[in-house]
Amino acid sequence: MQPTLVISTTTTTNITAAVDAITDSSFNQTLPGCPLMCGNLTVPYPFGIGLNSNCSIGPWFVINCVNTSNPPKPFLGSGNLEVLSISETQVRVRNIVSTRCYDNTGATTLDNVSSTWLGAYNVSPFTFSGSANKFTVVGCDDLGIISGSSQTQNVTSGCVSTCYDGSELLAIDGNCTGIGCCQTDIPKGLKVSGGSLSSFNNHTERKGLVPQEMEKGCVEGWEEAGLKRWGVMMV
């Protein structure tokens, strides 16, 4: 499972033509002479492949196709957000995960805080999608906080994940209810967001959790460890 993030285009004056262009029958077409594919990604106009290629409607819609991997990877502009898919109204990108790891005494061994910036408030056409994203915390005795900014306000939200007697940290029927994982909505209109993790009891009340599994998740990465334990946060 890859943590992903959905960003939406807004119909500001600068991109009205772009939104019109990708909601009619011309979707999945490019400007003449411009490539349509970067690796496995289809890049339709108003997006365009190549820095300074003039294949997009503007700088915010440039897809930088990096050929150092096989297949090549597409990134949004000159930043580090890898693009996974493009639809008529949304762009899905790979998200950066905040991680807090601890040893069998509850002491913190790793604390990585993530943040994602979609551009200047009055310029960027992108916002975080409030309907397609969820702020999610997976862990035991973990408090996850999301903070961010829109063009008009600063917001903070979060949720708490607990577990008892070594219970598996998994969603029940696809829902995170607060035992092992928790979720909350993403505030609408955000262009900047960041996440952090903390604990109420320094993880001292958790039971039956294996330190080797924790080390595997912290060292090898959460995807390889199954994203089951130890305070993983994603959108």
One-letter-per-residue 3-state SS of 137-153: EECCCEEEEEEEECCCC
pLDDT bucket at 61, cuts 50 / 70 / 90: very high
Which comes out higher in pLDDT, residue 95 or 26?
Answer: 95
In terms of domains, do 12 and 123 share one? no
In terms of domains, do 116 and 204 share one? yes
- Mean pLDDT to the nearest integer, 68-84: 92
In terms of domains, do 74 and 103 share one? no
Supply the pTM of this predicted model. Answer: 0.75
In terms of domains, do 222 and 110 share one? yes
Percent of the chain exceeding pLDDT 70 equals 69
- Whole domain around residue 181: which residue ranges? 98-234
Lowest mean pLDDT among 48-52, 90-94, 158-162, 226-230: 226-230
The dihedral through the CA atoms of 72, 74, 78, 79 has a sign that is negative
In terms of domains, do 177 and 208 share one? yes
d(CA 204, CA 140): 10
d(CA 93, CA 90): 10
In terms of domains, do 147 and 132 share one? yes
Domain count, the chain: 2
In terms of domains, do 103 and 196 share one? yes
In terms of domains, do 103 and 43 share one? no
User: Would you state the pLDDT for residue 152?
Assistant: 80
Give the number of C-alpha atoms closer than 13 A to the C-alpha of residue 154, restricted to the C-beta side.
2
Q: 3-class secondary structure for the chain?
A: CCCEEEEEECCCHHHHHHHHHCCCCCCCCCCCCCCCEECCEECCCCCEECCCCCCCCCHHHEEEEECCCCCCEEEECCCCCEEEEECCCEEEEECCCEEEEECCCCCEEEEECEEEECCCCCCCCEEECCCCCEEEEECCCEEEEEEEECCCCEEEEEEEEECCCCCCCCCECCECECECEEEEECCCCCCEEEEEEECCCCCCCCCCCCHHHHHHHHHHCHHHHCCCCCCEEEC
Bridge partners, 134 (sequence order): 185
In terms of domains, do 120 and 211 share one? yes
| Residue at which a domain ends, from 67, 94, 121 | 94
In terms of domains, do 215 and 128 share one? yes
In terms of domains, do 112 and 188 share one? yes
Distances (CA, A) of 158 to 44, 115, 118, 136: 36, 15, 21, 9
First to last CA, the chain: 12
| H or E stretch at 66 | strand 62-66
pLDDT bucket at 155, cuts 50 / 70 / 90: confident
In terms of domains, do 35 and 103 share one? no
Predicted confidence (pLDDT) per residue in 181-233, tens digit: 888 888 778 888 888 888 887 776 654 444 444 444 455 554 444 443 334 44
| Residue at which a domain ends, from 38, 67, 94 | 94
| Residue at which a domain ends, from 61, 77, 94 | 94
**Which one, of 40, 52, 124, lies nearest residue 82 by Cα?**
40
Predicted confidence (pLDDT) per residue in 49-60, tens digit: 999 999 999 999
Q: Where are the alpha helices (DSSP H) in 11-124?
A: 16-21
